[in-house]
Amino acid sequence: MIKKLTWSDAVKIKRTDRKQKEQAVQISADNMNRIANYHGTSKICYPEYAKSFDYVISCCPSVKASEVSLYFCPAAYLKKIGYDRVAGFYDVSHRVVVICEDTDKITVSKQNGPFESVRGKFEIDEIIVHELLHYAHHAMGYMGISINLEEEFAYGNSVGYLKKKGYSDEEIIRYNFLPYLIQTINTRKIFAQVIGEQLSTLTPDKLKRLFKKHEQEIFDIVEEIALEKGRKLILIYSEQITDNVSINKSMKTNRLDFLDLS
């Protein structure tokens, strides 16, 4: 069944706030124990979800993805301990992947503007691939690089898996990438361009009013830039799939940090 989410990764990533991201993925030992010991949590072991594991193993043979501890936890419990609207995450310090087992129960935003209406559509095996790729990325030694590069790695390298499932490029971009890519765009800059004024000169009230008034126009521009980024991402990572190369450290030199160019 297709799941609808407000967030792709679902951990709310503030584009420029590294600290917040670290807090988001480095959960406390307490919470990790809570998740592992909760009666509603199940531990998933290879060969369950073998297709997801096998894909990541084939991309990154140097890391032992089949040995990752992977937990399925209900959305209600994750919310209770502070992980609201989380579809999945890889916890760096505990080397554990946590997946929300019932993403359809994640509450979505009550606002209904164009930005809030962007929804990813993910199946659980796809979330597993994404999070295992985060694990692989760290296991290969890419620690402390930019959030956007980390996400580029996970989204980009999942293209092969999604294509194998029969999704078209546009479906991958719209349903898998878009919620994340929209967050990488500098919406304030586009807002200022649309209204032709410097935002810093306006009162909060006026900003709010103007944003509401021009929201659709701003969104259309943001969406188009995000879609274009998605197309580039597919192009770059499809070449890698065609060449049938496994990911290794050498790719560090030929990756593009284009997700940072917003």
> Interface with Zn ion by CB under 5 A: which residues?
9, 151, 154
Q: Name the residue nearer to Zn ion (CB basis): 101 or 151.
A: 151
Whether 115 contacts 183, CB under 8 Å: no
Cis amide linkage into residue 47, ω under 30° from 0: yes
Q: Name the residue nearer to Zn ion (CB basis): 47 or 144.
A: 144
Q: Name the residue nearer to Zn ion (CB basis): 9 or 223.
A: 9
Whether 99 contacts 72, CB under 8 Å: yes
Whether 211 contacts 113, CB under 8 Å: no
Closest contact distance (angstroms) between CB of 131 and Zn ion is 7
Q: How far apart are CA 244 and CA 250, in angstroms?
A: 15
Q: Name the residue nearer to Zn ion (CB basis): 87 or 222.
A: 87
Q: Name the residue nearer to Zn ion (CB basis): 132 or 218.
A: 132
Closest contact distance (angstroms) between CB of 255 and Zn ion is 16
Q: Are strands 42-44 and 88-91 parallel, antiparallel or unpaired?
A: unpaired
Whether 21 contacts 13, CB under 8 Å: yes
Q: How far apart are CA 218 and CA 116, in angstroms?
A: 13
Whether 186 contacts 222, CB under 8 Å: no
Q: Which residue is nearest to Zn ion (CB)?
A: 9
Closest contact distance (angstroms) between CB of 140 and Zn ion is 15
Closest contact distance (angstroms) between CB of 10 and Zn ion is 9
Q: Name the residue nearer to Zn ion (CB basis): 16 or 33.
A: 16
Closest contact distance (angstroms) between CB of 70 and Zn ion is 15
Helix (H, G, I), strand (E, B) or coil at 122: strand
Q: How far apart are CA 188 and CA 75, in angstroms?
A: 32
Q: Name the residue nearer to Zn ion (CB basis): 91 or 151.
A: 151
Closest contact distance (angstroms) between CB of 154 and Zn ion is 5
Whether 173 contacts 31, CB under 8 Å: no
C-alpha 215 chain-centroid distance: 24
Q: Other CB atoms closer than 10 Å to residue 1's CB: what's the count?
A: 8
Closest contact distance (angstroms) between CB of 100 and Zn ion is 14
